[in-house]
Amino acid sequence: MDKLKITIQVMVPPYTNQDLDTAMNIAEACLDRGHEVALFLFSDSILASNAKVKPVRSDRNIPERMRLLIKEKNLRVDICGICMEYRGVKPEDTVEGAEPSGLPELANLVMSSDRFINLMA
Amino acid sequence: MRKILFVVYHAPCGTIWPNEGFRTAFGMYGEDIEPEVLFIEQGVISVAKETECSKIGLFPLKMVQKYIKRYGTAVLVEKESLNKYKVKELDENFPTEVISREQIKEKIRQNDFVIFM
């Protein structure tokens, strides 16, 4: 199969809904098959990029998994900048490799992606 | 050109999604993308004449109307949901087109991507 560009947009918070887990499962599977994947964090889902999140040891660490997917598998992570400001998340709080972004970048991803997956609880 | 359909099913007072649906749709005009915004289920209350979120101190939805006019954004509303939620009169400042659930299937086929909110 040809290499595809796939964008996954998530809207809801990481430790209330499980869409972020689904998004990263899909992203990892696609990356493992050689596809290019971008994750666009919108609204409360941006909380998943906060590196200071500290879940209990038995639970999954979503920001850490995101960081590893960025570092080891080249996942692109865009974080809605206005959504960050609304929630008091600063760029220095976010996981390494995730970038503040916005609607122009989302429009560009819509324009350039072969597949677009939207997860909304 | 790409076509993208934003399907808003959340209520306008109590959730941010009708506003975010429009805001995101307007953001698409930076590229060669034609957005449409479709309201279904409780989302149809967004375009009811008597709906005014600011009356209970919430972020107003009607502020998007000037941008809808400026960009010529298509606003679609599902007929079955209007009946379900007893919406009798639509706000004329939302240039809405009422379509049936059957027509929505075709709309989904016509668009490259569909985003639910």
The pLDDT-based confidence of B37 (bands split at 50, 70, 90) is very high
pLDDT, residue A34, reads: 98
Residues of A in contact with B71 (CB under 8 A): none
pLDDT, residue A57, reads: 93
Residues of B in contact with A106 (CB under 8 A): 24, 27
Per-domain boundaries in chain B: 2-116
What is the C-alpha to C-alpha distance for residues A17 and A11, in angstroms, rounded to an integer? 10
pLDDT in tens, A44-56: 999 999 999 999 9
Which of the residues in chain A have pLDDT under 50?
A: none
Is A9 touching B (CB cutoff 8 A)?
yes
Tell me the pTM: 0.93
Provide, rounded to the nearest whole percent, the portion of chain B with pLDDT above 70.
Answer: 100
CA distance B34 to chain A (A): 11
pLDDT, residue A121, reads: 76
Scanning B4-63 for CB atoms below 8 A from A yields: 4, 16, 20, 23-24, 26-33
Instruction: Name the CATH topology of B2-116.
Output: Hypothetical Protein Ychn; Chain: A, (3.40.1260)
Q: Do A118 and B32 touch (CB under 8 A)?
A: no
Q: For residue A100, what is the domain's CATH number? A: 3.40.1260.10
**Is pLDDT of B53 > 80?**
yes
- For the sheet with A76-80, list strands across it: A99-101, A76-80, A36-41, A5-10, A115-119
The pLDDT-based confidence of B28 (bands split at 50, 70, 90) is very high
| DSSP states along B23-73 | HHHHHGGGTTEEEEEEE-GGGGGGGBTT--GGGGTPPPSGGGHHHHHHHT-
Q: Do A110 and B2 touch (CB under 8 A)?
A: yes
What is the C-alpha to C-alpha distance for residues B92 and B12, in angstroms, rounded to an integer? 17
Q: Do B33 and A108 touch (CB under 8 A)?
A: no
Domain count, chain A: 1
